[in-house]
Chains A and B, each alone.
Chain A
């Protein structure tokens, strides 16, 4: 029984908890056992907190037994991307420069999880400071894709996506600056949502690029993403970019969408520029089939053009490094994190340079130097200034496209999961993985990734991306849930039912030893 609990979506587990057919301790222990069994090989987690999790779970069980309302998700376990500050667990953003750092406060989204009586299991792996599309840039070693252990789980949030796909946690928190929630969802057969910019608080999210970063849900079902979004979303006075407005219930929208099974009157715009020859054949095939499913349900499929999307990656790799070079200036070896003294001592500036030279990985250095270059006198207008203009043009493209469509769709990623090492020596090739997801970040509009099948040529998951106008996240949940229900009907069950059996602890494997981990407080990795 306990092993089966890990297979349940969060919504179903929550129903069992509410009915007191299952305790939170049982559910939490099931997740922890699963992590112990498979994570030695997968390395989705940088840190787990089994004792704290069981303590929290037992407290929630006690309160529920005493008749307190612990909320609709009370007692459900959850994983948290290591980019989010947690005052009881290390928060490293997978960087050596923050190894072992325990923040003195919780991110707002983490505080909201705790208020909703969710049970944090641990912190998930990612590319260092969320810079990457594969988790290969984690300072603590990569995460494996549960569908194929020789392949990447996407990035930067590969740890959260892999943890959810491998049934280590029912759902997780991620962050998405250029696709870090949606691209891992695509390559692991999971669901992920980047909310409207400002829809979810960034307070306590270790900043990469402040005008692009958004925290969002990672899950196996659209409804679970909606339930989590309802918990973490809404105005936060501690984030000056947080939108001060009320949001509809995304869970209600997902339930309505699932029940409806019909999309009559919905105009679905296919973005011409986010497809075509550069996309893997099996990705294009599954995407076309998904369009046919949408059309059969009554949706009107229209082709739209977004002529400036082809400039999005270029603009992104100016804006992101520029903002990152500024945001990461705080790692100075003074207030927190690593300090490295140069031989024979030195001034505070020399200590700073030695610390950053030793504490940052190659991709972080590359982007900081690039951002410093883009912001240099003489280049600022040509590079950073032009990139900001492209941002305007991309917003205009979205406005025009949404004039004729209620939502826009594209494949979530141009290919299925690639193998480790394939793109590590070619930063530009790595950057192109996010060609489909970057426009939404530049414009601030919400996007959802959900699975639409396995590519025939390699048997690996393919995802569709649905985008909506800013503040219309609710459309993603309504339409996404309808599509999910129709696809599951066609498949005879969720796509993740076809996940291969994973290697469990004890079975022989050739995995490289996982990274040294981040467990100064005695937690296990």
Chain B
């Protein structure tokens, strides 16, 4: 269960930002720690009525087994797929190094 006082530390925000792959400035981290604390305090209200006997709903109108024929559909050409890429080479997306020096 979450702590009773949802104080969120700047270290926690930094950790979450790392998980979410968002570079934040120290200012942003300080701000977010305060804001998230008050938002989490507020949304924690859901635990008041979410008793074990209530099933969860993930989808408003459940559908099952939505399939299509296993054939090639209308697809993008490689040129179309690469058209919006920041960088590409030889028909592929180009990225910087996958591994850092320490890896």
A residues whose Cβ falls under 8 Å from a Cβ of B? 101-105, 196-198, 211-212, 237, 240-241, 243, 308, 311, 314-315, 317-318, 325, 329, 332-339, 341-342, 345-354, 356-358, 360, 362, 365-366, 368-370, 372-373, 376, 379, 382-383, 385-393, 395, 427-428, 441-445, 470
| Nearest 7 Cβ contacts at the A-B interface | A444-B60, A357-B23, A386-B50, A339-B86, A336-B84, A388-B56, A389-B50
Max chain A CB contacts within 10 Å: which of B16, B21, B55, B76?
Answer: B21
What are 28 A-B interface contacts by the 8 Å CB criterion?
A: A102-B83, A103-B84, A104-B80, A104-B83, A240-B63, A240-B66, A241-B59, A318-B46, A342-B23, A345-B96, A346-B100, A348-B95, A351-B95, A353-B17, A354-B23, A357-B22, A369-B16, A369-B22, A369-B32, A372-B20, A376-B16, A387-B43, A388-B57, A389-B49, A389-B57, A391-B60, A392-B57, A445-B60
Give a binary string over B39-69; 1 marks a CB under 8 Å from any A CB, 0 the rest. Answer: 1101111111111001111111101001010
Q: Is A365 a contact of B22 with CB atoms below 8 Å?
A: yes
Interface residues of B in 4-38 (CB under 8 A from A): 8, 12-13, 16-25, 28, 32, 35-36, 38
Which residues of the partner chain A approach B19 to less than 8 Å between Cβ atoms?
Answer: 372, 376
Contact of A443 among B13, B50, B60 (CB under 8 A): B60
Closest to B81 in A: A104
Given the interface pairs A334-B85, A392-B55, the reply to whether A349 lies near B21 with Cβ below 8 Å is yes
Given the interface pairs A311-B46, A356-B23, A365-B24, the reply to whether A388 lies near B95 with Cβ below 8 Å is no
Q: Is A368 a contact of B46 with CB atoms below 8 Å?
A: no
Q: Is A335 a contact of B98 with CB atoms below 8 Å?
A: no
CA distance A333 to B88 in the complex (A): 12
Which residues of the partner chain A approach B81 to less than 8 Å between Cβ atoms?
Answer: 104, 335
CA distance A338 to B84 in the complex (A): 9
Q: Is A395 a contact of B95 with CB atoms below 8 Å?
A: no
Q: Is B35 a contact of A366 with CB atoms below 8 Å?
A: yes
CA distance A348 to B39 in the complex (A): 32
Closest to A346 in B: B96
CA distance A20 to B66 in the complex (A): 45
Given the interface pairs A318-B46, A427-B35, A443-B60, the reply to whether A104 lies near B76 with Cβ below 8 Å is yes
B2 at the binding interface (Cβ < 8 Å): yes
B72 at the binding interface (Cβ < 8 Å): no
Q: Is B36 a contact of A369 with CB atoms below 8 Å?
A: yes
Which residues of the partner chain B approach A392 to less than 8 Å between Cβ atoms?
Answer: 54-57
Which residues of the partner chain B approach A387 to less than 8 Å between Cβ atoms?
Answer: 43, 46, 50
CA distance A348 to B95 in the complex (A): 6
Task: Determine how close the nearest CB of chain A comes to the CB of B49; give it in whole angstroms.
Answer: 6
Q: Is B56 a contact of A391 with CB atoms below 8 Å?
A: yes
Query: Can you name 11 extra interface pairs (CB under 8 A) apart from A336-B86, A347-B96?
Result: A311-B45, A317-B39, A348-B95, A352-B21, A353-B22, A370-B36, A370-B39, A386-B46, A388-B57, A390-B50, A391-B58
Q: Is B61 a contact of A197 with CB atoms below 8 Å?
A: yes
Contact of B54 among A197, A360, A368, A393 (CB under 8 A): A393
B99 at the binding interface (Cβ < 8 Å): yes
Which residues of the partner chain A approach B25 to less than 8 Å between Cβ atoms?
Answer: 357
CA distance A443 to B54 in the complex (A): 15
Contact of B93 among A335, A349, A358 (CB under 8 A): A335
Which residues of the partner chain B approach A311 to less than 8 Å between Cβ atoms?
Answer: 45-46, 48-49
Contact of B20 among A197, A315, A318, A368 (CB under 8 A): A368
Contact of A315 among B23, B46, B95 (CB under 8 A): B46
Closest to A241 in B: B63
Which residues of the partner chain B approach A345 to less than 8 Å between Cβ atoms?
Answer: 96-97
B1 at the binding interface (Cβ < 8 Å): yes
Task: Determine how close the nearest CB of chain A comes to the CB of B98; give it in whole angstroms.
Answer: 6
Q: Is A105 a contact of B57 with CB atoms below 8 Å?
A: no
Which residues of the partner chain A approach B54 to less than 8 Å between Cβ atoms?
Answer: 389, 392-393
